[in-house]
């Protein structure tokens, strides 16, 4: 499963880099939210990401991103997430999407899936809401994360 997700993410990033004529936008975003899991405390989380989306035509898009998240008040290292996303643009200012990827962490790696919504404001600014569920390896409990973000398209 890990190799399949890494291969899909790498393929999406390669396609995005190789098709500038279809490019929708690059993006940089900062995020904050909460993370929780079975038998775990709810912890505040901060992070940031860089990504690229490209148009698939007819209001559809696909993208790839790399993000780093850190749970506050914990001694765990930061998570590094490699994520692919695919979705629709129901309005010119909105994107709804599903996502999947792989997370690297010093404690235990995880596959993740989720969904999100992105809304463009005036100019290049946008906001986002996103949920992720982490399927953790090495006997660690699965966890969840809900994040809100603010970013810039360029």
Q: Are 139 and 116 in contact (CB under 8 A)?
A: no
Rounded to an integer, the average pLDDT of 49-74 is 93
Rounded to an integer, the average pLDDT of 44-72 is 95
Q: Are 112 and 133 in contact (CB under 8 A)?
A: yes
Nearest residue to 87 (alpha-carbon basis) of 12, 142, 4 = 12
* CA-based R_g, the chain, Å: 15
Tokens representing 13 are: 């990033």
What pLDDT is stored for residue 94 in this prediction? 96
Report the CATH fold assignment for 2-153: Porin (2.40.160)
Tokens representing 126 are: 């946008």
Q: Are 82 and 6 in contact (CB under 8 A)?
A: yes
List, for residues 125-148, the tens digit of each pLDDT value: 999 999 999 998 878 889 999 999
List, for residues 69-125, the tens digit of each pLDDT value: 998 876 767 999 999 999 999 999 999 999 999 999 888 899 999 999 999 998 899
Q: Are 152 and 125 in contact (CB under 8 A)?
A: yes
Q: Which residue has the higher pLDDT, 14 or 151?
A: 151
What pLDDT is stored for residue 141 in this prediction? 86
Q: Are 24 and 61 in contact (CB under 8 A)?
A: yes
What pLDDT is stored for residue 50 in this prediction? 98
Q: Are 70 and 33 in contact (CB under 8 A)?
A: no
Q: Are 53 and 25 in contact (CB under 8 A)?
A: yes
């Amino acid at each position: 499963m890990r190799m399949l997700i890494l291969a899909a993410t790498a393929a999406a990033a390669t396609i995005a880099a190789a098709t500038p004529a279809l490019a929708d936008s690059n993006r940089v975003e900062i995020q904050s939210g909460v993370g929780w899991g079975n038998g775990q405390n709810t912890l505040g989380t901060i992070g940031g990401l860089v990504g690229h989306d490209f148009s698939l035509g007819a209001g559809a898009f696909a993208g790839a991103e790399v993000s780093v998240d850190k749970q506050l008040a914990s001694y765990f290292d930061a998570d590094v997430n490699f994520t692919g996303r695919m979705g629709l643009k129901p309005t010119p200012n909105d994107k709804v999407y599903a996502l999947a990827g792989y997370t690297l962490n010093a404690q235990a790696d995880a596959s993740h899936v989720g969904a999100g919504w992105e809304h463009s404001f005036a100019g290049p600014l946008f906001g986002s809401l996103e949920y992720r569920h982490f399927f953790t390896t090495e006997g660690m409990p699965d966890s969840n994360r809900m994040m809100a973000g603010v970013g810039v398209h360029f």
